[in-house]
Chain A
């Protein structure tokens, strides 16, 4: 039983999309913590 080209592409594209958005989320959290004075 082989994985189809479509299934492979869905897995990889979703993973890459989440990875691409992660730095933005981390920076947003950093700014939020900074403003609230709870970075450390």
Chain B
């Protein structure tokens, strides 16, 4: 029986893997980013990314440590609906496909999601949006840094803080060196590693344990996990759907890619990426259902994936999980570091502190901000036990659900609804986040996004119905170009 009392991967092997992959990512980051000369090169990789790299980066960024570790955790806690619900997160990518095309058409020279909100809805809504977006980005960053530390500690016995620090430092270095080009290039390799690794573990679990044994033992010990009418799980399914959509629609991680992908690439890349992402949480999550059949004691729910892999495959399983999760962590951490630093550079530094900042000073600022973000993330992840909201990975992730779901309708209305009321957009985010958070504490983590999205929709529709405005779409590209010329 495997438990957390003893590491399942020898420390020397874990250090060897950490060092080898760290060197690989840093060298690739440096090599890919060596031709970056301007902030635009650094932030948007030349604005002409092709379909293969675009699809892979969409998938890799959306396959996070949360997918590889939380999907098994949710399967263990919520059963079949847990893993199916998580896989519905793919709809976020699929539904973003037409938005990516629209974004590129409306703002061919845009940089961030903040640029769009400011030009479309004005300063007040833009500031509310920045608060929502930055809370989410920071929550996501911390949850991934925590996942890295927890995984390395559980698998190899390396101190939580040391493991977390190594992963974070590596991502900061290569993002710093290569910007979005490094992020997208490494994402391609990381996608292949993650998917091949997860599929390998799933096939071997099927082969070694078998569906009959898995099903029989679940019926004996945890029948609720096989129930198709598990109320909390069904609520979770819809909550996760809205959470995923909210995350992708508002976050600069996805907007910066929409600006960076070549003309006519965004729609196809997000659609294909979403369809190929759909099975991954099922593949990663299903192994948790094998725990009763394997007789595994699971002392911490978010460690169930690695525990099953190590039980089924021994040392090989531990190595594969270690590499997969390291790749998953890096692929999302780098994207989030790059996109959040872009948002802070453009919308806080240039938008609020130095409006006349030149291209070169923005380039420098982006790099300083990546380092500062890494440092803040490290501090929060280091002292996670002392922060009241940071419990398990899933709890932290879904804490941000209220914020992100409340941004869905302002984004959609902003892109497609000419009459959308700008102040209504701000209040739909404020009230959606507030009431969504209240439901997180009063009802449960699985309803925060659901409530946040419902309140936000009601406010957006009501405010526009009561006080409709008219907007000239051409203003988006015209005003953005004027600002760039002024800065240059």
Contact = CB atoms under 8 A, between A and B. Distances in A.
Nearest to B192: A23
Interface string A28-40: 0110110000111
Q: How large is the interface on B (under 10, 10 to 19, 20 to 34, 35 or more residues)?
A: 35 or more
Contacts of B188: 26, 30
Contacts of B51: 29, 33, 38
Interface stretch (B277-285, B436-444, B446-454, B477-485): B277-285
B15 interface: no
A3 B211 contact: no
A18 B276 contact: yes
Contacts of A2: 219, 223, 226-228
Contact of B45 (A5, A33, A40): A40
A14 B229 contact: no
A32 B282 contact: no
A25 B228 CA distance: 33
Interface stretch (B199-207, B248-256, B398-406): B199-207
For chain A, what secondary structure do more than half of its interface residues adopt (helix, strand, loop), or is it mixed? helix
A38 B215 CA distance: 48
Most buried by B among A4, A16, A32, A33: A16
B141 interface: no
Contact of A33 (B50, B199, B229): B50
Given A3-B80, A26-B55, A33-B52, A16 B202 contact: yes
A2 B396 CA distance: 30
Size band of the interface chain A makes with B: 20 to 34
Contacts of A20: 196, 199, 203
Nearest to A26: B56
What is the predominant secondary structure among interface residues of chain B facing chain A? helix
Nearest to B213: A5
Given A16-B283, A39-B53, A40-B48, A25 B202 contact: no
Contacts of A29: 51-52, 55
B109 interface: no
A8 B80 contact: yes
Given A33-B53, A40-B53, A19 B283 contact: yes
A7 to B, nearest CB: 9
B181 interface: yes
Interface string B170-181: 000000000001
Contact of B192 (A13, A15, A27): A27
A10 to B, nearest CB: 10
B195 interface: yes
Contacts of A13: 206
A24 B203 CA distance: 17
B206 A12 contact: yes
Contacts of A40: 45-46, 48-50, 53, 181
Nearest to B211: A9
Contact of B199 (A8, A16, A38): A16
A28 B59 CA distance: 16
Contacts of B206: 12-13, 16
B191 A3 contact: no
A25 B52 CA distance: 9
Interface of B: 45-46, 48-53, 55-56, 59, 80, 84, 87, 181, 188, 191-192, 195-196, 198-199, 202-203, 206, 211-212, 214-216, 219, 223, 226-229, 262, 276, 278-280, 282-283, 286, 289
Interface of A: 1-5, 8-9, 11-16, 18-20, 22-23, 25-27, 29-30, 32-33, 38-40
